[in-house]
Structure 1
Amino acid sequence: MRWTSFSSFSLSLEDALHLLQRFFNSSNQIKQIHTVLFTSNALVASRWKTKCVYNTLIRSYLTSGQYKTCLALFTHMLASQVQPIDLTFPSLIKAACSSFSVSYGVALHGQALKRGVLIDPFVQTSFVRFYGEVSDLKSSRKMFDEIVDPCVIACNSLLDACGRNGEMDSAFELFQRMPLTDVVSWTTVINGFSKNGLHAKAVMLFGEMIENKRVVLTPNEATFVSVLSSCANLDQGGVHLGKQIHGYVMRKEIILTTTLGTALLDMYGKAGDLEMALTIFDQIRDKEVCTWNAIISALASNGRPKQALEMFEMMKSNSVHPNGITLLAILTACARSKLMDLGIQLFSSICSEYKIIPTSEHYGCIVDLIGRAGLLVDAVNFTKNLPFEPDATVLGALLGACKIHENAELGNKVGKQLIELQPQHCGQYVALSTLNALDNNWSEAEQIRKVMIQAGIQKMPAYSALS
């Protein structure tokens, strides 16, 4: 049957269900079927078939990313006195989460309880994931505890919820207690460790995964991306493992998707291997904004700021719109090449043209840009005119500029403000002590060290992944 348009036809529910299933992923066709159904009053015929049509429409709109339409359909469903069933809710819960409609998700919880479907394990599992993604770990755990016999999918949902909310001890404890795990379980915990900065643990668990003697587990793309992120952030040893993963990907002829390719590119960039980073960049067929950000950041951070700026122009010529991360990379490139005027100009133009709302990180980059140019007074004045009180990011950039230009007087003022903001952060004490030592103010440097020791703050030791 050749697709034309149904705008001038009426549909039976049987025809509608058949067409919805056939064109499940076709957004335009789904809209046309939807319109005909609602204008022809076909939905009043059979209650059961009507429920099926509503559920299929909701899933279709979810698949095409039209989350608000999913939720609006449910409202229409209730208004039409069509009773939702257990199959109605998982798609709606996912739509509420994807559209950040926390209040709607909570309302769905009430509806599921009212309709008597909250005992369904698939509905319960959906709520475990929903509450985890909206940072309500307490409710996520409570819902999980109500599942009589949680399956591996339910356990994986709670693992993800714990990881998203920084509770990796709880996640790992649950993981070790699970009677059955799959590749998603392992990947979720590895990703949780990686996202929470526990990169050595992520790498260690990946090693256990591939050496598992009880069951053969094949890492998937998400596994590789998570562990590569940790490899990129380890001081030593991570690059070696990252290269082994790259070799595995090549041997298995795994397609270098945008996500996987960008993870490899980022890893090589942070390791300082720009030639390999550029090679990977060229191999990625569909370059998205994250890919361009990774190569621009790699070039900017490894002594090729001008090439980073050229890559930015190439990015725009390919009709890829920059985002906030792109702006950070560009400002870093300008700061490294001491192109202060250009950096300020780009900051203004990019924010204006692409509707980017600057964060404290962006303002910190501007302070770094001005400070590296030696204009410390201008940098101070800039921080005073910010639309918010200078935070640790901004003040840290100013302290870094003081250190570069060995201005101990201003550095001491800024450093003491930083210590008030982050009294347990060892880096502020170390930077301030080093600055005074550079100025030959040994007594002040020693005093700062004493204050740090008395406060029970220890300098973080250098880490080796090989130890």
Structure 2
Amino acid sequence: MIRAYASKNSQDYDTHLCQALILYKQMLCNGISPDTLTLPFLVKECTRRRAIGTGRGIQGQSIKQGFYIDLFVQNSMISFYFACGFVDNARKLFDEMFNRDVVSWNSMIVGYLRSGNLDEALVFFRKMKRGNVITWNSIITGFVQGGRPKEALEFFHEMQCLSDDINMARPDKITIASVLSACAYLGAIDHGKWVHGYLRRSGLECDMVIGTALVDMYGKCGCLERAYEVFKEMPEKDTLAWTAIISVFALHGYGQEAFDIFKEMEAEGVKPNHVTFVGLLSACAHSGFVEIGRWCFDNETHLQNRATSSSLRMHG
């Protein structure tokens, strides 16, 4: 029951977190002691809600209940402190741990990456004896998003070399998508083509995420026709995929073609988002479509107003 309330996705976040805590107190009053899973469920929910006061209270409970040195509790607290911006607390907790597992190390790496401290994340990455695929994906994705794509590609090559060992992590679809983003960022078309070939050779499924990443990479590297070919070959396309190809045509100055694709998108029943209209506005700017640009702006504003109204209803 605690896990159900603590993990429930609902508009009434605070109520469900409160209910989970009430159940925990009732559990203690009934003489039932928590185990190594009870507290991490509560800490995880506090992390999602950024409930710093409640999270610290649960940490105090973990000490009182004798679970403070429990690995599950400590790993949960590390993620909690990073999420709430208390980087020093997370580091102190990690340094004081008697035992650490791959989750402990990954929590530190992801925490530093999300806080923008890429160099410190790299220090922890290098100190790990053996990371898993989550470790590699975190460092590759983090460096791409942190504006250091060249290093991200170097990590990918290193991962490939080590993956010959049967005990080492092998690239998966998340790895490929992140590497393609790095290629797009750098305009490294030859490397992007090689990654596309590697994708085929490895037998990994080219799902919507990878397909969209390929469209984006080919488009930003100047290969409009190849980007469109990849798009047409995708068996299923979501809003992100349609938006990617619209943005590619807009980038290359093909305004009318971008709007033709937008009409196809609407005909397929796929709803546009804010980024879609940004791509269309870019197409208007390149092609001089003033009136159509005003229409796009009005529709984008309408989307924003609907999102704001929905948010107000959620928290009202």
2:106 counterpart (147, 156, 178) = 156
Distance between the aligned counterparts of 1:105 and 1:316, measured in 2? 45
| 1:77 corresponds to | 23
Distance between the aligned counterparts of 2:198 and 2:65, measured in 1? 50
2:254 counterpart (304, 310, 321) = 304
Bigger-Rg structure (1/2): 1
Deviation for aligned residue 1:252:
3.0
| 1:230 corresponds to | 182
| 1:95 corresponds to | 45
SS at match of 2:77: helix
Distance between the aligned counterparts of 1:81 and 1:153, measured in 2? 28
Distance between the aligned counterparts of 1:210 and 1:198, measured in 2? 19
Distance between the aligned counterparts of 2:186 and 2:304, measured in 1? 34
Deviation for aligned residue 1:55:
4.5
SS at match of 1:80: helix
Shift of the 278–65 alpha-carbon distance from structure 1 to 2, 3 Å rule, reads farther
SS at match of 1:180: coil
1:328 counterpart (275, 278, 286) = 278
Shift of the 266–103 alpha-carbon distance from structure 1 to 2, 3 Å rule, reads farther
Task: Verify the 8 A CA contact 2:173 2:205 in the aligned structure 1.
Answer: no
Shift of the 119–351 alpha-carbon distance from structure 1 to 2, 3 Å rule, reads same
2:263 counterpart (302, 305, 313) = 313
1:182 counterpart (89, 107, 132) = 132
> How big is the alpha-carbon RMSD for the aligned residues of Structure 1 and Structure 2?
2.7
Question: Aligned runs of 1:316-465 on 2, under 5 Å?
Answer: 316-353=266-303, 355=305
Aligned partner of 2:172: which letter?
Answer: N
Distance between the aligned counterparts of 2:267 and 2:227, measured in 1? 21
Distance between the aligned counterparts of 1:107 and 1:330, measured in 2? 49
Task: Verify the 8 A CA contact 1:225 1:259 in the aligned structure 2.
Answer: yes
Report Cα offsets for 1:392-426 as digits up to 9, x if no partner: xxxxxxxxxxxxxxxxxxxxxxxxxxxxxxxxxxx
TM-score, normalised by the number of residues in structure 1: 0.58
Deviation for aligned residue 1:353:
4.3
Task: Verify the 8 A CA contact 1:324 1:356 in the aligned structure 2.
Answer: no
Report Cα offsets for 1:112-165 as digits up to 9, x if no partner: 445443321112112222333444323332332232221111101111111111
Task: Verify the 8 A CA contact 1:125 1:154 in the aligned structure 2.
Answer: yes
Give the structure with the larger helix fraction: 2
**Structure 1 unaligned residues grouped into runs of 5+:** 1-53, 359-467
Distance between the aligned counterparts of 1:198 and 1:140, measured in 2? 25
| 1:374 corresponds to | none
| 1:118 corresponds to | 68
TM-score, normalised by the number of residues in structure 2: 0.83
Distance between the aligned counterparts of 1:158 and 1:345, measured in 2? 46
Aligned partner of 2:23: which letter?
Answer: M
Identical amino acids, percent of aligned pairs: 32
SS at match of 2:94: helix
Distance between the aligned counterparts of 1:296 and 1:169, measured in 2? 36
SS at match of 1:218: coil
Shift of the 178–315 alpha-carbon distance from structure 1 to 2, 3 Å rule, reads same
SS at match of 2:37: helix
Shift of the 163–274 alpha-carbon distance from structure 1 to 2, 3 Å rule, reads same
Aligned partner of 1:217: which letter?
Answer: A
Using the TM superposition, name which of 129-138 and 326-335 deviates more.
129-138
Deviation for aligned residue 1:357:
7.1
1:166 counterpart (108, 113, 116) = 116
SS at match of 1:355: helix
| 2:141 corresponds to | 191
Shift of the 73–221 alpha-carbon distance from structure 1 to 2, 3 Å rule, reads farther
| 1:57 corresponds to | 4
Shift of the 157–332 alpha-carbon distance from structure 1 to 2, 3 Å rule, reads same
| 1:445 corresponds to | none
Distance between the aligned counterparts of 2:129 and 2:49, measured in 1? 34
